[in-house]
């Protein structure tokens, strides 16, 4: 890596590069959270319960691959480009190919529905685990760990967190606005009802385009970012995985932020995945998802503008608690009003995204605070290992959201064969979809606020003290 004297100062180039990194991540990740369950149920004809179960079981694989990748990052010596950056080059092509493979059956049209159910389930499980547990892990763990190596300053890390969220937001906007407009066909059921039907071939085409765009974004991330926090080359005692996990269990900051992340993703991903059901099935208009995504972008931009000054004054955890409670209130208002007009629902969702957006802007800076706290507590800096456990927690949240959504869809009687039968969902199923879309996020946001306020220890005063202690320790 470049010597400390030749390193350029932290600036907009780093922030833009970090934005492109999550832009690339979310071209495959948000696509999966937005449409994958709908694709599996409506195109591949697999029951929602089985899909949710596979997504949960995949997290047991992640328990090994995430921690292993974190250990690899910590053990690998830095190259001239840095310690974490090289993984952007090594893994960008595998993750893009693996993402496309998940949607490739859509190109086969009706032939897929004639295949044995066991074969469809096997292909689903194999490609989903290949993408999520191996390829995505191989690029996401180094990318997330890299934030603490780009700059030691809390304000810089908050900027990286904001720009990372904006990168994901931009990918979400493109996917959320473009996918419903392109991938759904309008058909008339046997009873004369207008249905929005997912076209598997179009989804596969979109997945191919997004895979290419993901590669471009990863390359831009590699080009623009500089790692400038020096790697500590002194010989350290090798810590076993067992000792590392035992230490993690005693780390209140890490355990509480892990629980918080699971709850946040339970709420966020339920909102995202159920958007593929509530607009085409409950309101009968898939284009509502496009408008909802556009307003989400506006909400996120507002959140990005106010997050940094608010957190600088009041603290990241404190501001996050208030934003989550705001989201709870909006979810409950939506449930009680139960708007018959889709545009009223879209407007309330925009307010909900504002509450979520503020927490999203700071969540990645929270984990860098935890990494600092862990160094002071344990005397060893293990960015990759700590971030790997955090990433695994996020995948648990993803699994919980997918599994819970799949289970609840199964319980309300969602008919994954409605398309083949030329009918729509029953009114009871539609009402159930609405309930899931509002009450599950409300519960998730409420529990998240309680964890951050009563359990998570790194509020503003403690974070400032930790930063000062590390500067003294490192002689900066």
User: CA 221, 234, 89: angle at the middle one, nearest 5?
Assistant: 20
Phi (first) and psi of residue 180, to 5 degrees: -60, -35
For 192-208, what is each residue's pLDDT tens digit?
777 778 899 999 999 99
Q: What percent of the chain has pLDDT over 70?
A: 92
- Residue 271 pLDDT grade (very low, low, confident, very high; cuts 50, 70, 90): confident
Helix extents (H) in 184-284: 200-224, 241-249, 252-277
Average pLDDT over residues 6-22: 92
Q: What confidence tier does 3 reach under pLDDT thresholds 50, 70, 90?
A: very low
187: three-class secondary structure by DSSP: strand
Calpha distance 252→187 (Å, rounded): 53
| 385, pLDDT greater than 80 | no
Question: What confidence category does residue 10 fall into, taking pLDDT thresholds of 50, 70 and 90?
Answer: very high
Burial of 333 (0-12, 13-18, 19+ CB in 10 A): middle
Residue 290: pLDDT band (50, 70, 90) is: confident
pLDDT band at 238 (very low <50, low <70, confident <90, very high): low
Contacts of 142 (CB under 8 A, 6+ apart): 69, 73, 84, 85, 87, 88, 91, 384
Which one is predicted more confidently, 183 or 402? 183
| pTM exceeding 0.75 | no
Measured CA to CA, the distance from residue 447 to residue 325 in angstroms comes to 9
pLDDT score, position 262? 86
473 against 329, higher pLDDT: 329
Mean pLDDT, residues 394-422 taken together: 79
Q: Is the pLDDT score of 99 beyond 90?
A: yes
Residue 216 reports pLDDT greater than 90: yes
Residue 235: its pLDDT value, please?
Answer: 45
Q: What number of residues does the chain have?
A: 476
Poorest-confidence range of 12-21, 164-173, 434-443?
A: 164-173
Mean pLDDT of 61-74: 86
Q: Round to whole Å and give the CA distance between 200 and 412.
A: 25
pLDDT in the model for residue 175: 87
Helices 136-145 and 86-103 pack at an angle, to 10 degrees, of 140
Model pLDDT, residue 2: 45
Q: Work out the pLDDT band at 232, boundaries 50, 70, 90.
A: low
Higher-confidence position of 458 and 386: 458
> Three-state DSSP class for 82?
strand
Structure tokens at 377: 């507590």
Domain boundaries of the chain, sorted by first residue: 12-230+246-474
Q: Which pLDDT tens digit goes with each residue over 239-258?
A: 555 666 666 667 888 889 88
The residue-averaged pLDDT of 14-28 equals 95
pLDDT for 189 equals: 66
pLDDT in tens, 319-367: 999 999 999 999 999 999 999 999 999 999 999 989 888 888 888 788 8
What CATH number belongs to 12-230+246-474?
Answer: 1.20.1250.20
For residues 60 and 376, give the distance between their C-alpha atoms in angstroms, rounded to a whole number: 30
pLDDT confidence of residue 22: 94
pLDDT of 275 above 50: yes
109: left (phi over 0), alpha (psi -120 to 50) or beta: left
Q: Supply the mean pLDDT for the chain.
A: 86
């Amino acid at each position: 890596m470049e010597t400390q004297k030749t390193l350029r100062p932290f600036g907009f180039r780093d922030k833009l590069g970090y934005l492109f990194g999550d832009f690339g991540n979310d071209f495959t990740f948000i696509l999966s959270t937005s449409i994958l369950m709908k694709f599996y149920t409506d195109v591949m004809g697999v029951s929602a319960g089985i899909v949710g179960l596979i997504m949960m079981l995949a997290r047991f694989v992640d328990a090994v691959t995430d921690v292993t990748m974190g250990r690899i990052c910590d053990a690998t010596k830095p190259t001239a480009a840095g310690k974490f950056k090289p993984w952007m080059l090594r893994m960008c092509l595998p993750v893009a190919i693996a993402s496309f493979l998940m949607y490739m059956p859509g190109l086969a049209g009706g032939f897929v529905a004639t295949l044995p159910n066991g074969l469809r389930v096997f292909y689903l499980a194999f490609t989903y685990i290949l993408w999520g547990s191996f390829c995505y892990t191989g690029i996401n763990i180094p990318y997330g760990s890299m934030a603490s190596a780009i700059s030691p300053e809390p304000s810089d890390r908050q900027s990286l967190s904001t720009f990372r969220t904006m990168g994901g937001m931009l990918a979400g906007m493109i996917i959320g606005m473009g996918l419903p407009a392109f991938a759904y066909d309008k058909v008339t059921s046997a009873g004369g009802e207008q249905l929005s039907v997912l076209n598997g071939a179009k989804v596969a085409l979109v997945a191919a385009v997004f895979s290419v765009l993901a590669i471009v974004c990863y390359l831009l991330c590699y080009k623009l970012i500089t790692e400038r926090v020096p790697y500590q080359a002194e010989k350290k005692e090798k810590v076993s995985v067992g000792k590392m996990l035992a230490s993690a269990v005693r780390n209140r900051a890490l355990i509480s932020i892990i629980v918080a992340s699971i709850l946040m993703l339970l709420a966020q991903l339920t909102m995202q995945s159920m958007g593929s059901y509530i607009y085409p099935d409950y309101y009968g208009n898939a284009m509502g998802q496009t408008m909802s995504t556009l307003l989400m972008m506006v909400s996120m931009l507002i959140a990005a503008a106010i997050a940094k000054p608010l957190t600088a004054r009041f603290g990241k955890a404190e501001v996050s608690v208030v934003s989550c409670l705001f989201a709870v209130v909006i979810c409950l208002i939506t449930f009680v009003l139960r708007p018959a007009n889709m545009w009223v629902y879209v407007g309330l969702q925009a307010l909900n995204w504002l509450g979520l957006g503020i927490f999203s802007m700071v969540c990645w800076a929270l984990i860098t605070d935890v990494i600092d706290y862990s160094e002071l507590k344990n005397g060893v800096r293990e960015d990759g290992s700590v971030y790997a456990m955090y990433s695994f927690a996020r995948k648990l949240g993803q699994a919980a959201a997918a599994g819970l959504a799949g289970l609840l869809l199964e319980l309300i009687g969602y008919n994954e064969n409605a398309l083949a039968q030329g009918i729509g969902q029953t009114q009871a199923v539609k009402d159930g979809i609405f309930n899931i879309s509002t009450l599950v996020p409300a519960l998730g946001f409420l529990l998240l606020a309680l964890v951050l306020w009563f359990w998570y220890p790194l509020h503003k005063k403690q974070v400032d003290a930790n930063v000062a202690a590390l500067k003294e320790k490192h002689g900066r």
